[in-house]
Structure 1
Amino acid sequence: MKIVSLLGVGVIGVMLGGVCLMSQRKSLFGVLLSMEVFTLGGYVIIFSVFWVLAELSSLCLIFLALGVCEAALGLSVLVSLIRGVGSDYVSGLVSGHF
């Protein structure tokens, strides 16, 4: 029963991250945060599936490492954008001043 609830939390996390990702229109920081929620939801799903199979593979750690790399790259792009343009608004990217 706990595994089903853990899988449900992962599915809700993925859906919440997807909805937030699609609804972000102003800030790149909000997009990065919603992608992190999406990644953590995917990690919870993968972890619960491997827990049911009683085979905690190294795939969980690989996925978590890729999520950390994604976060580090996103943060570096955010810092570069703020230094170059002066804000993290997506409308600044459309005007082509980046």
Structure 2
Amino acid sequence: MLNLNMMLIVSLVMIFCGGWGFVSYHKHLLNSLLSLEFMMLGIFWLLGINMSMVGSEIYVCLFFLTLAVCEGALGLSLLVFIVRSHGNDYFKSFNLLEC
């Protein structure tokens, strides 16, 4: 039981650290995307722990992981597009009228 509680605490710390990183490191798009992916990993771990405790279907975790991978691929493609069009990933240099 101690190991399970420790895993729950670690997953919650991962989610909060990802949220803190997303709020505090907002100058670069890459830092924001990495923080979001770290939060998704923590949520996936928490979901996996909860599904294993309940004993229900694990397919929900696989569906969530598929959505997280699609979100990461979309974020990476947007990052590549923005770096090619603007030259960097600073948020202060973005202008919506230039696209």
| TM-score computed with the length of structure 1 as normaliser | 0.92
Q: CA deviation at 1:25?
A: 2.4
Please, what is the CA RMSD of the aligned residues? 1.4
1:56 Cα shift?
4.2
Q: Distance in 2 between matches of 1:95 and 1:75?
A: 19
Aligned equivalents of 2:98, 2:27: Cα separation in 1: 16
Aligned partner of 2:21 in structure 1 is 20
Q: Which runs of 4+ in 1 moved over 6 A?
A: none
Contact kept in structure 1, 2:48 and 2:58, CA below 8 Å: no
Measured in 1, the distance between the counterparts of 2:96 and 2:75 equals 21
- Code of the residue aligned with 1:30 in structure 2: it is N
The question of whether the paired residues in 2 share the 8 Å contact of 1:13 and 1:37 is answered with yes
Structure 2, unmatched stretches of 5+, are none
Alignment of 1:72-87 (within 5 A): 72-87=73-88
Does the aligned pair in 2 maintain the 1:47–1:56 contact within 8 Å? Answer: no
Specify the alignment match of 2:41 in structure 1. 40
For these two proteins, the number of residue pairs brought into alignment is 98
TM-score normalized with structure 2 length: 0.91
Give the % identical residues.
33
Q: Cα offset for 1:61?
A: 0.3
